[in-house]
């Protein structure tokens, strides 16, 4: 009788849960292996461009501050 109580959930798990679990697992593995989608690649390139522009702006601002207030870095580090 105890064996019957254990067999029903085990059979249900094997029939329904395990196949769905395996399908979802391998689908996610395949998506990870494919790399970036075209849209993700485009977004990444846009972010790289924005980061480059921000870096140039920061360099420009630092050079302006260096010219106008040469000791600004020491005051900021305190």
CA 40/CA 67 separation, integer angstroms: 41
Least confident piece of the model among 1-5, 25-29, 31-35: 1-5
Mean pLDDT in the chain?
Answer: 86
Confidence class for position 53, pLDDT limits 50, 70, 90: very high
Could you tell me if 72 and 65 are in contact, meaning their C-beta atoms sit under 8 angstroms apart? yes
Could you tell me if 31 and 24 are in contact, meaning their C-beta atoms sit under 8 angstroms apart? no
Position 76 scores a pLDDT of 62
CA 72/CA 62 separation, integer angstroms: 9
Side-chain-side CA neighbours of 72 within 13 Å: the count stands at: 10
Confidence class for position 6, pLDDT limits 50, 70, 90: confident
Position 77 scores a pLDDT of 61
Position 78 scores a pLDDT of 57
């Amino acid at each position: 009788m105890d064996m019957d109580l254990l067999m029903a959930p085990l059979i249900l798990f094997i029939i329904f849960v395990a196949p769905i679990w395996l399908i979802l697992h391998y689908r996610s593995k395949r998506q990870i292996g494919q790399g970036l989608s075209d849209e993700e690649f485009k977004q990444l390139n846009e972010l790289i461009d924005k980061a480059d522009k921000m870096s140039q702006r920061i360099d420009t601002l630092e050079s302006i501050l260096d010219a106008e207030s040469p000791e600004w870095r020491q005051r900021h580090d305190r």
